[in-house]
A and B are shown apart, each in its own frame.
Chain A
Amino acid sequence: MSKLLRQSFVLLLLMTVITGVLYPLAATGLAQLIFPHQANGSLVERDGKPVGSALIGQSFTDPKYFWGRPSATAPNPYNASASSASNQGPTNPALADAVKQRIAALRAADPGNAAPVPVDLVTASGSGLDPQISPAAAQYQLARVARLRHMDVARVRSLVQRCTQGRQLGLLGEPRVDVLKLNLALDAGAP
């Protein structure tokens, strides 16, 4: 028994050093050497200063920007230091109420638009930090953004296309539009 205990103890110590210290250090060293940009959060810069991460969404509520997915993080949406989802069940009345409010807000920002709203634009994402919306959700907001920025619709559409990624390797995942990248491109093109 005491022999087993001693063996357990020393083996746990050695394994802690190997898997808990050497392994993450080796992974960090290699990652920083080969993929430094990604390993440090894929930061996006404007005029040499970081303005966010390409992978983490930000809150956009101004109608002249494209809006992202609703976010359920607390206390404010897109709080990157406390990722969370709504966890509302499908029959929870609070979910239907929240969706109604989001539809109302979208319609208020764009009174002429009576098209059905793409589902990802009115449902909270899993992380609360989803950086992307579906191409359908971008299309839905296109006319509004162009009008409020006094830009040509075709011009905005080409910016949207530039910020759209197809399925990875032509098969995996879903087509998607990077909201932060798109809004930065809009700001750069037309203030």
Chain B
Amino acid sequence: MTTNDYLQLGLYLVVLLLLVKPLGSYMAHVFADAPNRVTRFGGRVERAIYRLCGIAPDEDMGWKRYALAVLLFNLLGLLAVYALQRLQGWLPLNPQHFGAVSADSSMNTAISFASNTNWQGYGGESTMSYLTQMLGLAVQNFLSAATGIAVLVALVRGFARRSATGIGNFWVDLTRSTLYLLLPLSLLLSLLLVSQGVVQNFKPYVDVPVVQASSYSTTAKDAAGHEVTTQAVVTSQTLPMGPAASQIAIKQLGTNGGGFFNVNSAHPFENPTPLSNFLELLSILLIPSALCYTFGQMVGDRRQGWSLLAVMLVIFIPLLLACTAAEQAGNPLLAHLGVDQHASALQAGGNMEGKETRFGIADSTLWATATTAASNGSVNAMHDSFTPLGGLVPMWLMQLGEVIFGGVGSGLYGMLAFAVVAVFIAGLMVGRTPEYLGKKIEAYEMKMASLAVLLPCALVVIGTAIAVMVPAGVAGVANPGAHGFSEMLYAVSSASNNNGSAFGGLSANTPFWNVLLGACMFLARFPLIVAMLAMAGGLAAKRHVPESAGTLPTHTPLFVTLLACVVIVVGALTFLPALALGPIAEQLMSAMGH
């Protein structure tokens, strides 16, 4: 690793941590029960929305009603995205005249965007009309993110409230996340991105003549089965346009990750400069980190929030360094061909296949690690072309259950489920009833927490097994050998943890993959939300247990270590065998020169 690598990674972490407290405390105001200066500021718009919808904002929902509202709202959103894709050919704002998207692909994409996964089986600039991008995909970018935050806030209320029947009002939580948090941040970020060169317009694609004409040949079979080679001359280039910046801003902030263009944030119109890259990177982890502080403030002990953030960093930083070192070392198989992969003042060096010159190594690995630690899933370099160990890091970060930062809201409620498991394990060791944040952890909470921890693991393992056994699954693989297995394992890990990034070589826009991954994304999202809300309801009803000499303090380095170990042990025990067949096998082959 070079000095500049360290400097860039360090600067990123410092700026991120500096923003945790101001944003975290702002969000605590947004979701506070009592009116305050934040909620008074937008009160008019908020009240108008409630009036039009017939919502009583002071209705305190029980967990079942809250869960039903979440499910109904998301299901409607899902159907809307499906319908928009199927009907886009007849709808306006379609200057490229794209036809209807296939049924299986539309279903996959609808689930993908409603579940905050944003897995993309299609290429944006060649499939989706501006209308579908705006009314379907961008809207779900906001609403799936707001749903995740709402569910987290409900769970935090479960810890904070005593002997209560309700856990808040879903409509209010959703509306406030959108109006006070996601919209203003997105508008600010989209303008900053445009200043760097991200496009934002409603024009049709622009044709420009190229400076040097070139020709290429294509070979196709004619009706009689003979191969026919045709020469084509390229004299122009079609530049894609569209309202990209507004959508990119929310896809980064809401841990969505679905790109406007096919190659996501590697595209120069989506991420034109190192500064735009820094801002987009910052947006990936911004809300998930700040929510830790919000959590601490809402349960009345900020140390609890900082300790969860510490667990995330303790796992994140070593993996970030490992990924960067692996990529900076380059590809040993290219070294003897006469390729210079050494870092110098004149080049980034390292493994540059699938990476952009302006980002080099450090910006690409930081992105890969952040986007998979959070369940963002956008990319600025192609993970499929990473070195075996460099690619193992993002894959394993997803398999850890998307709790190292994780999705907005969903990452922290996942981490809280792990925290419940950790205090339970500690309780077993000393033979006492475990407590967390003054609430007794009993069989009911443990069932819900275990479900949240184990369901994604099971989906990854079972889903990959199905894909490997079925010819339609293996047919999608692009690279030979162990790497082909990694492509399948990565795809199922990504879908089953609502991440959305891919080893892009896999041809996943087929009925088999669309259905398998669609099912994984759906099951990883909504049953988990219901389990978390059930836990929230149970916790809210409990009385507060005062701290005693036997209580395990959960803000100490000891607890941070314990919790980090639980997360790592679950992730390692479940996935080491599968990883050994994929990236680890490939690394050994690569080291032997194959």
Contact surface of A with B, Cβ cutoff 8 Å = 1, 3-12, 14-16, 18-21, 23-24, 26-28, 30-32, 34-35, 38-43, 49-62, 65, 69, 75-93, 95-96, 99-100, 103, 115-120, 122-137, 139, 167-169, 171-176, 180, 183-184, 187
Contacts of A54 in B (CB 8 A): 197
Extra contacts besides A27-B194, A127-B267, A134-B357 (20): CB < 8 Å = A7-B54, A8-B69, A15-B142, A23-B186, A27-B190, A28-B201, A34-B195, A39-B245, A41-B206, A43-B239, A56-B239, A76-B216, A81-B239, A83-B267, A92-B480, A119-B339, A126-B364, A134-B348, A174-B357, A175-B345
- Closest residue of A by beta carbon distance from B179: A18
A-B contact pairs, 30 of them (CB 8 A): A3-B54, A4-B68, A11-B174, A26-B187, A27-B191, A30-B191, A31-B194, A31-B201, A32-B200, A34-B195, A41-B199, A41-B201, A53-B269, A55-B268, A55-B272, A56-B269, A77-B216, A81-B240, A87-B385, A88-B478, A92-B479, A116-B338, A117-B340, A119-B352, A120-B348, A123-B354, A139-B346, A173-B275, A173-B360, A174-B347
Contacts of A9 in B (CB 8 A): 76
How far is it, in angstroms, between the C-alpha of A171 and the C-alpha of B238 when the chains are bound?
Answer: 33
What is the distance, in angstroms, from B370's C-beta to the closest C-beta of chain A? 15
Q: Is the CB of A119 within 8 A of B350?
A: yes
Q: Is the CB of B346 within 8 A of A134?
A: yes
Q: Is the CB of B505 within 8 A of A4?
A: no
How far is it, in angstroms, between the C-alpha of A11 and the C-alpha of B179 when the chains are bound?
Answer: 13
Q: Is the CB of A183 within 8 A of B347?
A: no
Q: A92-B479, A119-B347 are in contact. Are A171 and B7 (CB under 8 A)?
A: yes
Q: Is the CB of A119 within 8 A of B216?
A: no
Q: Is the CB of B76 within 8 A of A8?
A: yes
How far is it, in angstroms, between the C-alpha of A91 and the C-alpha of B346 when the chains are bound?
Answer: 27
**B356 near A: Cβ within 8 Å?**
yes
How far is it, in angstroms, between the C-alpha of A124 and the C-alpha of B504 when the chains are bound?
Answer: 14
Contacts of B384 in A (CB 8 A): 85, 87-89
How far is it, in angstroms, between the C-alpha of A49 and the C-alpha of B210 when the chains are bound?
Answer: 11
How far is it, in angstroms, between the C-alpha of A26 and the C-alpha of B171 when the chains are bound?
Answer: 25
**B234 near A: Cβ within 8 Å?**
yes
0 or 1 for each of B559-590: is its CB under 8 Å from A? (1 = yes): 00000000000000000000000000010011
Q: Is the CB of B52 within 8 A of A10?
A: yes
Q: A69-B357, A81-B126 are in contact. Are A24 and B246 (CB under 8 A)?
A: yes
How far is it, in angstroms, between the C-alpha of A99 and the C-alpha of B351 when the chains are bound?
Answer: 12
* Chain B interface residue number, banded: 35 or more
**B8 near A: Cβ within 8 Å?**
yes
Contacts of A43 in B (CB 8 A): 206, 208, 239
How far is it, in angstroms, between the C-alpha of A8 and the C-alpha of B74 when the chains are bound?
Answer: 9
Closest 6 CB pairs of A and B: A173-B274, A126-B266, A87-B505, A174-B360, A89-B483, A172-B274
Q: Is the CB of B171 within 8 A of A19?
A: no
Q: Is the CB of B239 within 8 A of A89?
A: no
- Closest residue of A by beta carbon distance from B70: A8
Q: A11-B49, A11-B73 are in contact. Are A128 and B263 (CB under 8 A)?
A: yes
Contacts of B479 in A (CB 8 A): 87-89, 92
Q: A41-B199, A116-B339, A116-B340 are in contact. Are A96 and B334 (CB under 8 A)?
A: yes
